[in-house]
Amino acid sequence: MLDPKHLDELTQRLSHLIPQGVKNVQTDIEKNIRSVLQSAFAKMDLVTREEFDVQSAVLARTRAKLEALEKQVAVLEQHMQPPVKKSRKKPE
């Protein structure tokens, strides 16, 4: 999920865009903005950068293992194929 510090920073930035005449309700607006942002981000099912990096590393290791296994299977398949018999011509 999104870091609370980043959410606070984004809320502050948006609240500074509010016109001067409405500044007296700024606290209420900040709370509403924060609530709307939290709800929107929760619906997006976001992950942190750290979680993303961990999953990327797991995927890279899995791909490497898959490639190694594919090579092993190819070698085993070659060993399982019967040798090709050379056809001999019968003497006439």
d(CA 78, CA 17): 69
* Assigned token pair, 60: 């890279």
Count of structural domains, the chain:
2
**Is-contact 37 13, C-beta < 8 A?**
no
Show the domain range for 70.
Answer: 48-78
What are the pLDDT digits (tens) for 5-42? Answer: 877 888 778 777 777 777 667 778 778 888 888 888 88
Do both 53 and 41 map to the same domain? Answer: no
Do both 40 and 57 map to the same domain? Answer: no
Q: Does residue 90 fall inside a structural domain? A: no
* Assigned token pair, 36: 């709307």
Do both 36 and 73 map to the same domain? Answer: no
d(CA 38, CA 17): 19
Do both 31 and 58 map to the same domain? Answer: no
Do both 31 and 61 map to the same domain? Answer: no
What are the pLDDT digits (tens) for 64-92? Answer: 999 999 999 999 999 888 766 666 666 66
